[in-house]
Amino acid sequence: MKIFYAVQATGNGHISRAMELLPFFQRYGQVDIFLSGANNSLALDASVKYRSRGLSLFYSQCGGLNYWEITRQLSPLRVWKEVRDLPVEKYDLVINDFESITSLACMLKKVPSVNFGHQASFISPKVPRPEKPEWMGEWILRNYARASQYVGLHFKQYDDFILPPVIKREILQAEPADKGHITVYLSSYSDATVRRHLQPLSDFNFQVFSKEVKKPTQDGNILFLPVGKHAFNKSLITCKGILTGAGFETPAEALYLGKKLMVIPIRGQYEQFCNAAALGKMGVPVLKALDAGFPAAFRPWIEQRRKPCLHLDYSTEAIVSYLMHHSHLEKADSLDMLYPEAVFN
């Protein structure tokens, strides 16, 4: 079997998940990867056959999207050429992790595809949304990477086609510890902004993962670290709590490890506000911004004993097996067949 695997490379979550899934996809045949996007910090540890700048998101320095940079990078002519030339018709199976060029190519050439990933879950109206849903955000989630079939991933099984998160092997096998530091990953904030709000909390130590530093840099009670998979995993496994955006992979891993979690959704990124709505219902504190009110929210959170958790007993292999059967219209009668011991809190 020849498999076309499109990976969205805006941010790091999609790449992190792809690295876990790839060995299992390769059991089913030859996998050719299409990496699309221009704004990530992690490298994909695999051979990439097709590359594109894609339709990427860029962030400002203060917690939101940089719309000017997003618009500046957009080239309709380039996108059209890539859509036309992408050879999706030569593959037996197209797996699309929220990548728009692949979706358009499949639509143009009438090739079936499976939208597989977190964003695919939002096809279901049962997935939590903010109190005031945004019509544009809803339209993007439904149309940015349209497909003939959908297999979603989310914190809970909100619908019958939604599976649990894919947790990295290093996290699954870890023995969590509390070494007292707070792990911070806020990709849409500059180091200067993060420093300004964390340094006054001098009785706490922070490990901040930054796109700006090239080597570990100590600055008072803050250790700035380059974004890297192993360093971040180590920090997360041994932290007291984590402050991060309202993405999907990192919050899922934090909940699985039983860590205290606080999230700040990226302004303008509707999916993160949907995730924040789901996390809020699970008891996770959600902040609007990293601002002057942060210390007042931080201290009660880090001192509380109750920690929302995500208990799972499943395998990435089982998730891939479900996807492959689903893509061949041999859908399992029930997810309980694959996850008889899964418990979602």
Task: Give the model confidence (pLDDT) of 84-120 as tens digits.
Answer: 999 999 999 999 999 999 999 999 999 999 999 999 9
Compute φ and ψ for 265, nearest 5 degrees.
-60, 145
| Cα angle 197-200-203, degrees, rounded to a multiple of 5 | 125
Report how far residue 30's alpha carbon sits from residue 304's, in angstroms, rounded to the nearest whole number: 49
**What is the pLDDT at residue 340?**
34
pLDDT digits (tens, 9 = 90+) for 263-306: 999 988 899 999 999 999 999 999 999 999 999 999 999 998 87
Summary mean pLDDT of the chain: 86
**What is the pLDDT at residue 68?**
52
**What is the pLDDT at residue 327?**
75
- The better pLDDT of the pair 61, 156 is held by 156
pLDDT confidence band for 186 (50 / 70 / 90): very high
**What is the pLDDT at residue 259?**
95
Is residue 64 predicted with pLDDT exceeding 70? no
Is residue 128 predicted with pLDDT exceeding 90? yes
Is residue 66 predicted with pLDDT exceeding 50? no
Q: What is the mean pLDDT of residues 308-327?
A: 82
- The better pLDDT of the pair 76, 239 is held by 239
pLDDT digits (tens, 9 = 90+) for 222-251: 999 999 889 999 999 999 999 999 999 999
pLDDT confidence band for 4 (50 / 70 / 90): very high
**What is the pLDDT at residue 283?**
93
**What is the pLDDT at residue 55?**
61
Compute φ and ψ for 310, nearest 5 degrees.
-125, 105
Q: How many CB atoms lie within 10 A of CB 134?
A: 15
Percent pLDDT > 70 in the chain is 86
Each as own residue / partner, the long-range contacts of residues 322-325 (CB below 8 Å, 24 or more positions apart, any chain) are 322/151, 322/163, 323/95, 323/114, 323/116, 323/151, 324/28, 324/93
Contact present, 266 and 63 (Cβ < 8 Å):
yes
Task: Output the CA torsion 166→170→173→176 (10° steps).
Answer: -100
- The better pLDDT of the pair 62, 302 is held by 302
User: Structural domains in the chain?
Assistant: 2-166+314-337 (3.40.50.2000), 169-303 (3.40.50.2000)
**What is the pLDDT at residue 47?**
85
Is residue 51 predicted with pLDDT exceeding 50? yes
Q: How far is CA 325 from the centre of its chain?
A: 24
**What is the pLDDT at residue 280?**
96
3-state secondary structure at position 207:
strand
Q: What is the mean pLDDT of residues 65-89?
A: 74
pLDDT confidence band for 39 (50 / 70 / 90): low
Tokens of 121: 């879950």
234: which residues sit within 8 A by CB, 6+ positions away?
none
pLDDT confidence band for 329 (50 / 70 / 90): very low
Looking from the CA of 139 toward its CB, the CA atoms found within 13 Å total: 3
64: which residues sit within 8 A by CB, 6+ positions away?
188, 266, 267, 268
| First vs last C-alpha separation in the chain | 38
**What is the pLDDT at residue 339?**
33
| 60-99 b/e (C-beta count within 10 Å ≥ 16 → b) | beebbbbeeebeebeeeeebeebbeebebeebebbbbbbb
Closest CA to 250 of 201, 301, 293, 284: 284
Is residue 171 predicted with pLDDT exceeding 60? yes
Maximum average pLDDT range among 57-71, 73-87, 150-164: 150-164
Global pTM value? 0.86
Is residue 160 predicted with pLDDT exceeding 70? yes
Percent pLDDT > 90 in the chain is 69
Paired with 242 in beta bridges are 183, 261
Q: How many CB atoms lie within 10 A of CB 25?
A: 20
